[in-house]
Structure 1
Amino acid sequence: MRGALPAAVFLLCLATSGAHADETAPSPYLLGDWGGLRTRLEERGLAFNFGYGSQVAHNFSGGTDRLTRYADQWLFQATADAQKLWGWKGATLQATVTDRNGRNLGADARIGNSMLLQEIYGRGQTWHLTQLWLNQQLLDGRLQIKLGRLTVGEDFATFSCEFQNLSFCGSQPGNLVGSYWVNWPTSQWAARVKYQATREAYVQLGVYQVNPRYIDDAYARRSGWKLDNPSGTTGALVPVEFGWQPVLGGRPGSYKVGGWYDSSRGADLYEDTHRRPRGMTGGEPLMHSGRYGAYLSFQQQVTGTSEGRGATVFFNAAMADRRTSALDRQFTLGVIYKGPFGRSADAIGFAVGATHSNRRRADFVRENNARTGHKEIAGGGNEYAAELYYNWAPVPGLQVRPNLQYVMHPGGTSANRNAWVAGLKTTIAF
């Protein structure tokens, strides 16, 4: 059934796109306004979002095999305006369930990359309870309190996901320390407080449960969609962020600086309990109290008009605790241009980035290989990635995005061959 899914979605697009273009052109959804039902529900306080995304990737070089792999995600979301529905002023509730399927090109072709070539893959190819939260506004909207099952990246270090390579998609700290900074589609119990100091500036603080079971594939397949609280909590992740969102010359910008601390204990990558090289001794790793890091994210439209044609540039950087993080820093920059060739809904994007593998772990692996005879490969340098895409929006609600990726020194080592990858990212908003 899953193998037939791409064809079924494509046929659905063909069947609905022509009628939709004539019926409800202003609607951003492929199936239009459902005969006016969607608008009537939103006026009463209930909004729905049904979506599908797929990512195809093929490696022309790199790895041990030339393969094509396909991954996808279904999304089912409902948002309730509690004031319209029940007179509960300033409250919003949201529930999201996702379903992921498919295969990972990087793993299957043994490319050795640190950053996924299909960012939609991972966290268990199954159903997930991705969001279930209440957001309460106070003080005329200046103060927001959010409680429930949350993903960290929906509020902290938030960034768009226009690209297919994970280097340039979503909340960047999760790319480095995904074992405890848990991004979409996995959620955990959490709370976030945000204060809007001025129209442009805010500060926010969060507390998120850290439990390795949430990102365990076996648990995800069995209970990832359930509203439960499994045993195994190791601590709490506490991120803080300062943000400034100005409009400069009529063009929006977003500037964020933040940091995080995880109270869980973390294993040292190199030293044993006696602070000797554990690759040589074979001893147990030294345990540290707490893990931490920092990030910044700058994004600014530099040409064109707000919500129209023009170029937006971005720069993201994150650094993690070198004692415990196998990937200790990442830098990315790029540009997205909306409205090329007179097509207002189309876009072109280009980005480059570097993800650094921690030298301390590489030294451990080298010494451990010498002691045990293993042949594990671990880099201690940068994995460089670049991606170019064109986003084609033939009808509202459908975006088709062919892309070309190049990965140099996958995994931060020249032992892995450089890879050229062609991709196709498709998103549908029903």
Structure 2
Amino acid sequence: MDLRAHKKPLVTCSLLALLGLTVAPQSHATDSPYLFGDWNGTRTRLAEQGISFDFGYGSEVAHNFTGGTKQITRYTDQWKLGSTLDLEKLWGWSGGTFQVMLTNRNGRNLGADANIGNNQLIQEVYGRGQTWHLTVFALDQKFFDGKLDWRIGRLPVGEDFASFSCDFQNLTFCGAAPGNIVGDYWVNWPTSQWATRIKLHTTDQTYVQIGAYQINPNYVNDRWARRNGWKPDFPGGTKGALIPLEFGWTPIANGLPGSYKVGGWYNNAGGSDLYYDVNHEPLAITGGEALKRDSRYGGYLNFQQQVSGVAGGKGTTVFFNATQADRDTSATDRQIAMGMEYKGPFERSNDMVGFAIGASHANSRLAEYQRLYNQFHPATPGLVKNGYEYVSELFYNWSPIPSINLRPNLQYILHPGGTRQNSNAFVFGLKTSVAF
């Protein structure tokens, strides 16, 4: 295991855990959701006045026992620094809140460094540039006793549309699934775009929402992010808008909560066709300019239901996610994931077990292009990806105190990248989170 380049972050992670176990006062260790407690009551007083904070640290270690061209260990992490202002408590602004969140990412990507060839990140917290990001900078305004909710500012799409938890370490099971397959314009955490979203609660258990998000290639450019990712500015180069629409239902079945979402999206900036040139001839033969498609689009389902135990507490929750993108422009055109989580095993209410399986499909139109290209360019052939990348993950979450979670996991990646030409990968991971 190549640990020399990672001693510093590993030591940092260990010290954070040690702080929570040995330094924090006993009352903090057993009661507080924050490692450093209530700041002698200051945190509660500020919250009562309308100022709350969200400070946290997360890290992900991964080591591949099989797969790739070498067996190595990689570490990546993220710091988050955020605050929410209740404008009604502060200034009498009824129904208004303002949120700001900054994140900082560092580390290395196991999949790339070990040449595993995977499409979905083994360490989901890696990506979007190892630098500072302005993740949220937004005003939220409620009307008509909360029935209508309007949000505007710098926002990640996945916070509001197709939103999903990030308990697993593999990206297949983390966050809004559309961002996993069309991430060049559907932007998830920690990157944001200027956007607006309107949500209408049609009943106590149903809602409909629509949004408009700026499409600008700069936001997904790591080089640009290193210089400008933390700035609330308006960069040039906007190409159009991403418009998502979602219908949601949050029923209570036998006293247990559920969440059911159906949505779709439309991108009016368009994109390049994977197979044809501007004359509708195969790109692989002509080498010309790709055909410009006027739009990009897709749809998703997101089902989550607690099926046993106590509502919101100990018990089993199951989930199913399915996403389909247009085949003309999307290199990965669909993803399916399903799994379960069980909270409170072994009489430990803060602990959890999770298991999931998923598949991401490499677009066959891109495979057709690659086959044709290889035929006409035998000296520089490329890898043909024309199937599913299958992923499974099993984790156990140990929470020694409420503010710390240590989550060892096992991942198995079958046909990384959607091709049998890449060796299957067996990975050990450790996902850690600390709330300050």
TM-score bracket for this pair, using the shorter chain length: over 0.9
Q: Which residue is 1:230 aligned to?
A: 235
1:246 aligns with 2:251: yes
Q: CA deviation at 1:19?
A: 4.5
Q: How does the TM-score come out when normalised to structure 1?
A: 0.98
1:396 aligns with 2:399: no
In the alignment, the residues of structure 1 paired with residue 20 and residue 111 of structure 2 have an alpha-carbon distance, to the nearest angstrom, of: 34
Equivalent residue in structure 2 for 1:200, among 205, 219, 224: 205
1:381 aligns with 2:387: yes
Q: Which residue is 2:150 aligned to?
A: 145
Letter of the structure 2 residue corresponding to residue 22 of structure 1 = Q
Q: Which residue is 2:131 aligned to?
A: 126
In the alignment, the residues of structure 1 paired with residue 183 and residue 89 of structure 2 have an alpha-carbon distance, to the nearest angstrom, of: 38
- Matching of residues 72-87 of structure 1 within 5 Å: 72-87=77-92
In the alignment, the residues of structure 2 paired with residue 295 and residue 220 of structure 1 have an alpha-carbon distance, to the nearest angstrom, of: 29
Equivalent residue in structure 1 for 2:165, among 147, 160, 165: 160
In structure 1, the residue corresponding to 2:66 is in which secondary structure? coil
Is this contact kept in 1: 2:6–2:74, CA < 8 A?
no
Q: Which residue is 2:343 aligned to?
A: 338
Q: Which residue is 1:426 aligned to?
A: 432
In the alignment, the residues of structure 2 paired with residue 36 and residue 378 of structure 1 have an alpha-carbon distance, to the nearest angstrom, of: 60
Q: Which residue is 1:48 aligned to?
A: 53
In structure 1, the residue corresponding to 2:168 is in which secondary structure? coil
In the alignment, the residues of structure 2 paired with residue 411 and residue 187 of structure 1 have an alpha-carbon distance, to the nearest angstrom, of: 27
In structure 1, the residue corresponding to 2:146 is in which secondary structure? coil
Q: CA deviation at 1:79?
A: 0.4
Structure 2: tracts of 5 or more residues without a match = none
Q: Which residue is 2:214 aligned to?
A: 209
1:296 aligns with 2:301: yes
Task: Tell me how many residue pairs correspond in the alignment.
Answer: 430
1:23 aligns with 2:19: no
Q: Share of identical aligned residues, percent?
A: 57
Q: Which residue is 2:11 aligned to?
A: 7
Q: Which residue is 2:106 aligned to?
A: 101
CA RMSD of aligned residues (A): 1.2
User: Does the C-alpha gap of structure 1 residues 16 and 305 become closer, same or farther in structure 2, counting only changes over 3 Å?
Assistant: closer
Is this contact kept in 1: 2:20–2:404, CA < 8 A?
no
Q: CA deviation at 1:404?
A: 0.2
Letter of the structure 1 residue corresponding to residue 427 of structure 2 = V
Q: CA deviation at 1:12?
A: 3.5
In the alignment, the residues of structure 1 paired with residue 31 and residue 110 of structure 2 have an alpha-carbon distance, to the nearest angstrom, of: 37
In structure 1, the residue corresponding to 2:172 is in which secondary structure? helix
In the alignment, the residues of structure 2 paired with residue 135 and residue 290 of structure 1 have an alpha-carbon distance, to the nearest angstrom, of: 30
Q: Which residue is 2:121 aligned to?
A: 116
In the alignment, the residues of structure 2 paired with residue 16 and residue 341 of structure 1 have an alpha-carbon distance, to the nearest angstrom, of: 22
Structure 1: tracts of 5 or more residues without a match = none
In structure 1, the residue corresponding to 2:47 is in which secondary structure? helix
Is this contact kept in 2: 1:17–1:30, CA < 8 A?
no
In structure 2, the residue corresponding to 1:231 is in which secondary structure? coil
